Amino acid sequence: MSWLKSWIGQHPVLGAGIYFVLVAASVVLLPFSSLPLLPFATQNFGVVLTALLSAAGWWTGCLIAFQIARLGRRYLERITSMRAVDRIEDKIPDDVGFGGIVVLRMILPVDVVSFALGLLKRLPFRTYAVASLIGILPFAFAMSYAGGQLGAGKFLPFALVVAGMVAAVLVIRRLWKAYR
Protein backbone atom coordinates (compact mmCIF):
# COMPACT_ATOMS: atom_id res chain seq x y z
CA MET A 1 0.00 0.00 0.00
CA SER A 2 2.95 2.36 0.47
CA TRP A 3 3.53 2.36 -3.31
CA LEU A 4 -0.10 3.43 -3.84
CA LYS A 5 0.20 6.17 -1.25
CA SER A 6 3.39 7.35 -2.97
CA TRP A 7 1.70 7.26 -6.38
CA ILE A 8 -1.26 9.30 -5.10
CA GLY A 9 1.22 11.78 -3.58
CA GLN A 10 2.71 12.24 -7.05
CA HIS A 11 -0.66 12.28 -8.86
CA PRO A 12 -3.18 13.75 -6.39
CA VAL A 13 -5.73 14.91 -8.97
CA LEU A 14 -5.76 11.58 -10.78
CA GLY A 15 -5.90 9.74 -7.43
CA ALA A 16 -8.88 11.86 -6.36
CA GLY A 17 -10.55 11.24 -9.71
CA ILE A 18 -10.10 7.47 -9.39
CA TYR A 19 -11.50 7.57 -5.86
CA PHE A 20 -14.52 9.57 -7.07
CA VAL A 21 -15.18 7.06 -9.88
CA LEU A 22 -14.88 4.10 -7.49
CA VAL A 23 -17.32 5.71 -5.05
CA ALA A 24 -19.85 6.49 -7.81
CA ALA A 25 -19.50 2.97 -9.22
CA SER A 26 -20.07 1.48 -5.76
CA VAL A 27 -23.61 2.86 -5.80
CA VAL A 28 -24.46 1.55 -9.25
CA LEU A 29 -22.68 -1.81 -8.92
CA LEU A 30 -24.61 -3.11 -5.93
CA PRO A 31 -22.34 -5.69 -4.31
CA PHE A 32 -19.40 -3.28 -4.24
CA SER A 33 -19.04 -0.89 -1.28
CA SER A 34 -16.80 2.14 -1.08
CA LEU A 35 -16.76 2.28 2.74
CA PRO A 36 -13.56 0.20 3.06
CA LEU A 37 -11.79 2.84 0.94
CA LEU A 38 -12.55 5.66 3.41
CA PRO A 39 -9.61 5.17 5.83
CA PHE A 40 -7.14 5.07 2.96
CA ALA A 41 -8.73 8.04 1.20
CA THR A 42 -8.77 10.10 4.38
CA GLN A 43 -5.10 9.39 5.00
CA ASN A 44 -4.27 10.58 1.47
CA PHE A 45 -6.73 13.44 0.92
CA GLY A 46 -7.71 14.55 4.43
CA VAL A 47 -11.15 14.51 6.01
CA VAL A 48 -12.69 17.47 4.17
CA LEU A 49 -11.58 16.52 0.65
CA THR A 50 -12.47 12.87 1.24
CA ALA A 51 -15.92 13.92 2.46
CA LEU A 52 -16.45 16.13 -0.58
CA LEU A 53 -15.19 13.45 -2.99
CA SER A 54 -17.32 10.80 -1.25
CA ALA A 55 -20.43 12.99 -1.28
CA ALA A 56 -19.89 13.85 -4.94
CA GLY A 57 -19.33 10.19 -5.82
CA TRP A 58 -22.31 8.90 -3.84
CA TRP A 59 -24.50 11.67 -5.25
CA THR A 60 -23.39 11.03 -8.83
CA GLY A 61 -23.89 7.29 -8.34
CA CYS A 62 -27.35 7.75 -6.85
CA LEU A 63 -28.38 9.99 -9.76
CA ILE A 64 -27.16 7.36 -12.25
CA ALA A 65 -28.95 4.58 -10.36
CA PHE A 66 -32.15 6.64 -10.25
CA GLN A 67 -32.00 7.21 -14.02
CA ILE A 68 -31.26 3.53 -14.69
CA ALA A 69 -34.34 2.57 -12.70
CA ARG A 70 -36.40 5.32 -14.34
CA LEU A 71 -35.41 4.06 -17.82
CA GLY A 72 -35.72 0.46 -16.68
CA ARG A 73 -39.31 1.03 -15.61
CA ARG A 74 -40.31 1.51 -19.25
CA TYR A 75 -38.88 -1.89 -20.12
CA LEU A 76 -40.29 -3.57 -17.02
CA GLU A 77 -43.77 -2.26 -17.89
CA ARG A 78 -43.52 -4.11 -21.20
CA ILE A 79 -42.81 -7.49 -19.62
CA THR A 80 -44.52 -7.35 -16.23
CA SER A 81 -47.16 -5.47 -14.30
CA MET A 82 -45.97 -2.51 -12.29
CA ARG A 83 -49.24 -2.42 -10.32
CA ALA A 84 -47.50 -3.40 -7.08
CA VAL A 85 -45.04 -0.51 -7.42
CA ASP A 86 -47.89 1.85 -8.36
CA ARG A 87 -49.90 0.75 -5.29
CA ILE A 88 -46.91 1.46 -3.06
CA GLU A 89 -46.46 4.85 -4.70
CA ASP A 90 -50.15 5.67 -4.15
CA LYS A 91 -49.67 5.07 -0.41
CA ILE A 92 -46.78 7.54 -0.19
CA PRO A 93 -48.13 10.95 0.82
CA ASP A 94 -47.22 13.77 -1.58
CA ASP A 95 -45.63 15.83 1.21
CA VAL A 96 -43.13 13.08 2.06
CA GLY A 97 -41.14 13.69 -1.13
CA PHE A 98 -38.31 16.06 -0.29
CA GLY A 99 -38.08 15.52 3.47
CA GLY A 100 -38.61 11.80 3.12
CA ILE A 101 -35.74 11.49 0.68
CA VAL A 102 -33.43 13.49 2.95
CA VAL A 103 -34.28 11.16 5.84
CA LEU A 104 -33.90 8.05 3.67
CA ARG A 105 -30.45 9.24 2.61
CA MET A 106 -29.46 9.61 6.25
CA ILE A 107 -30.72 6.22 7.43
CA LEU A 108 -30.42 3.81 4.48
CA PRO A 109 -27.67 2.87 2.04
CA VAL A 110 -27.55 5.00 -1.08
CA ASP A 111 -27.63 2.20 -3.66
CA VAL A 112 -30.87 0.26 -3.13
CA VAL A 113 -32.91 3.37 -2.29
CA SER A 114 -31.76 5.05 -5.52
CA PHE A 115 -32.99 2.21 -7.68
CA ALA A 116 -36.25 1.90 -5.74
CA LEU A 117 -37.05 5.62 -5.91
CA GLY A 118 -36.28 5.64 -9.62
CA LEU A 119 -39.23 3.32 -10.18
CA LEU A 120 -41.67 5.90 -8.79
CA LYS A 121 -43.48 7.87 -11.51
CA ARG A 122 -44.50 10.93 -9.49
CA LEU A 123 -41.10 11.74 -8.00
CA PRO A 124 -39.49 14.62 -9.91
CA PHE A 125 -35.80 14.20 -10.67
CA ARG A 126 -34.94 17.67 -9.33
CA THR A 127 -36.58 16.95 -5.96
CA TYR A 128 -34.77 13.62 -5.76
CA ALA A 129 -31.40 15.14 -6.70
CA VAL A 130 -31.45 18.06 -4.24
CA ALA A 131 -32.87 16.04 -1.33
CA SER A 132 -30.33 13.28 -1.95
CA LEU A 133 -27.43 15.71 -1.84
CA ILE A 134 -28.65 17.26 1.41
CA GLY A 135 -29.09 13.82 2.98
CA ILE A 136 -25.71 12.52 1.80
CA LEU A 137 -23.56 15.43 3.02
CA PRO A 138 -23.73 14.85 6.81
CA PHE A 139 -23.10 11.14 6.33
CA ALA A 140 -20.11 11.83 4.07
CA PHE A 141 -18.43 14.11 6.59
CA ALA A 142 -19.10 11.81 9.55
CA MET A 143 -17.92 8.71 7.67
CA SER A 144 -14.80 10.47 6.36
CA TYR A 145 -13.87 11.55 9.87
CA ALA A 146 -14.56 8.06 11.23
CA GLY A 147 -12.55 6.51 8.40
CA GLY A 148 -9.65 8.83 9.18
CA GLN A 149 -9.74 7.83 12.82
CA LEU A 150 -9.81 4.14 11.91
CA GLY A 151 -6.98 4.59 9.41
CA ALA A 152 -4.88 6.31 12.09
CA GLY A 153 -5.48 3.43 14.49
CA LYS A 154 -7.63 5.54 16.81
CA PHE A 155 -10.34 3.03 17.56
CA LEU A 156 -12.11 4.86 20.40
CA PRO A 157 -12.85 8.04 18.39
CA PHE A 158 -13.87 5.84 15.46
CA ALA A 159 -16.27 3.85 17.67
CA LEU A 160 -17.69 7.04 19.19
CA VAL A 161 -18.39 8.54 15.76
CA VAL A 162 -20.04 5.33 14.56
CA ALA A 163 -22.09 5.07 17.76
CA GLY A 164 -23.09 8.73 17.39
CA MET A 165 -24.17 8.12 13.81
CA VAL A 166 -26.22 5.09 14.81
CA ALA A 167 -27.87 7.10 17.59
CA ALA A 168 -28.56 9.99 15.21
CA VAL A 169 -30.10 7.64 12.66
CA LEU A 170 -32.34 6.09 15.31
CA VAL A 171 -33.45 9.52 16.56
CA ILE A 172 -34.08 10.83 13.04
CA ARG A 173 -36.01 7.70 12.18
CA ARG A 174 -38.15 7.95 15.32
CA LEU A 175 -38.83 11.67 14.73
CA TRP A 176 -39.72 10.98 11.12
CA LYS A 177 -42.18 8.24 12.12
CA ALA A 178 -43.74 10.56 14.71
CA TYR A 179 -44.04 13.31 12.11
CA ARG A 180 -45.74 11.01 9.61
Write out pLDDT tens, residues 5-19: 788 888 889 999 999
Q: What is the pLDDT of residue 95?
A: 53
Q: Among 85-89, 122-126, 155-159, which stretch is predicted with the lowest mean pLDDT?
A: 85-89
The span from the CA of 85 to the CA of 70, in Å, is: 13
pLDDT band at 180 (very low <50, low <70, confident <90, very high): low
Q: What is the pLDDT of residue 79?
A: 66
pLDDT band at 121 (very low <50, low <70, confident <90, very high): confident
Q: Assess contact for 93 and 166: CB atoms under 8 A.
A: no
φ and ψ of 12, to 5 deg: -65, -35
* Structural domain that includes position 118: 2-179
Q: What is the pLDDT of residues 84-95, one digit of tens each?
A: 667 766 766 555
Asked if residue 58 has pLDDT above 70, the reply is yes
pTM of the model: 0.83
Domain count, the chain: 1
